[in-house]
Amino acid sequence: AQSVTQPDIHITVSEGASLELRCNYSYGATPYLFWYVQSPGQGLQLLLKYFSGDTLVQGIKGFEAEFKRSQSSFNLRKPSVHWSDAAEYFCAVGAGGGGNKLTFGTGTQLKVEL
């Protein structure tokens, strides 16, 4: 079965600083990978996803993520963080075999200092 690990529970960065949120997955084949963001009082919103092809994926709000098969990682990055990026970020992996299931990580809470 697939699994997702987000090793950082909380991260604090200064506005304008760069950001990297870590995500490691466990899955035997090539996974389908997603990053979602959840603002307070809101549902989850898709930032970006990777299925195949170019391992560097561009998403909304200036985010990007890089798939590294050798490291089983799919880290999320942003070159310059804005105060409005403060939220919780979830990495997820989709299984093969026609299933519906997305397996989510426990999330990383991002705080942005002004």
Partner 1 sequence: ETGVTQTPRHLVMGMTNKKSLKCEQHLGHNAMYWYKQSAKKPLELMFVYNFKEQTENNSVPSRFSPECPNSSHLFLHLHTLQPEDSALYLCASSQDRGYQETQYFGPGTRLLVL
Binding site for partner 1 (CB under 8 A): 4, 32, 36, 41-46, 49, 51, 90, 94-96, 98-107
Nearer to partner 1, 43 or 53 (CB): 43
Report in angstroms how near the CB of residue 56 gets to partner 1 at its nearest: 19
CB-facing half-sphere around the CA of 78: CA atoms within 13 A: 25
First to last CA, the chain: 41
- Asked if 61 and 75 count as a contact pair (C-beta separation under 8 A), the reply is no
Report in angstroms how near the CB of residue 29 gets to partner 1 at its nearest: 12
Q: Which residues pair with 113 in a beta bridge?
A: 14
Nearer to partner 1, 44 or 81 (CB): 44
Kind plus residue range of the DSSP H or E element containing 80: none
CB count within 10 Å of CB 78 equals 21
Report in angstroms how near the CB of residue 43 gets to partner 1 at its nearest: 3
Nearer to partner 1, 43 or 114 (CB): 43
Report in angstroms how near the CB of residue 44 gets to partner 1 at its nearest: 4
